[in-house]
Amino acid sequence: MNTREDPTAGWSRLHGTDVSGNRLVVGWLRIVHACARPLDRVPPDALSAAGVVCAGVAVLAAAQGRWAIAGAVLVVLTGLLDGLDGAVALRTGRARPLGAVVDAVADRLTDVAFVGVFLVLGADPLWCAGLVLLTWLHEYARARAQGAGMAGPGAVTVAERPTRVIIAAVVALGAGVLPAGTPLTDWSWAVVGAVLWAVTGVVGAVQLAVALRRELVTPGR
C-alpha cells in the first residue's frame, strides 16, 4: 500500500496543481483521507458508483417533500464519496487513468442528480436543462484544454464541485425545514438554488475562459 504519501502532495501530483497554500483544501483533504482509512479494501470505483446511487436517492427523497432533509444528507454524502474514491486510490496505490475516467463520469451523473433536486422541488425544466448544459460545458472545456496540454485545472473557479454540492444540499435542507420558501421572501428554494447555480456557473465559465486563454493561447498570436 502507498499510505505514506502526504494527501496534499498526492492530490497536487495527480491534478497538476499545488494546493499546499490553500488551508481550506488542505484541511478537507486531510479529513477525507482520515475517513478513507477504514475503506482501503473497498475498490475506488465502487465508491464512485455509491456516490451516483446516493445522488439518485437524494432526488427521490427530495421529491417526497417531507424527506427533503434526508435528501440534503445524501447530497453531502455524495460529495464525501467523491473525495473518498480518490483518497482510497492514493492511499492504496490504486490511482490509475481509468479510475480518473470513472470518477469524472460519476461526477457528471451526480451533477445531473443535483439539478434533479431542483427539478423535483419545482424549478422550471428548461432552467434545469440549461444548468446541466452550463456545468457540462465548464467541465468539457477544461478536459479539452488538458488534452491539449494544459497542466492542472487551469483555474479553481467559483463553480467547482464543492459549490454545487453546497447549493444542492442547502436547497434540499431548506425545502425540508421551511417548505413555504426562503425566509422573509418566501421564494421557492428550487428557484433560488437554480439562480445561484446559474450565477456561479456563468462567473466560473468566465474565470475558466480567462485561464484557458492564458495557458493555451501563444502570446502575440
Over the stretch 110-160, which tens digit does the pLDDT of each residue have?
A: 999 999 999 999 999 999 999 999 999 999 999 999 888 887 788 889 999
In a domain, 83, yes or no: yes
In a domain, 2, yes or no: no
In a domain, 36, yes or no: yes
Arithmetic mean of pLDDT, 96-112: 92
Reported confidence tier of residue 22, pLDDT bands at 50, 70, 90: low
Buried b (16+ CB within 10 A) or exposed e, 110-131: bbbbbbbbbbbbebeeebbebb
Model confidence pLDDT, tens digit, residues 70-93: 999 999 999 999 989 988 988 888
Determine the structural domain holding residue 181 and report its residue range.
7-216
CA distance 187 to 54: 27
Structurally, how many domains does the chain consist of? 1
In a domain, 199, yes or no: yes
In a domain, 1, yes or no: no
In a domain, 164, yes or no: yes
Percent of the chain with pLDDT over 90: 63
Predicted structure pTM score: 0.89
CATH number at residue 152: 1.20.120.1760
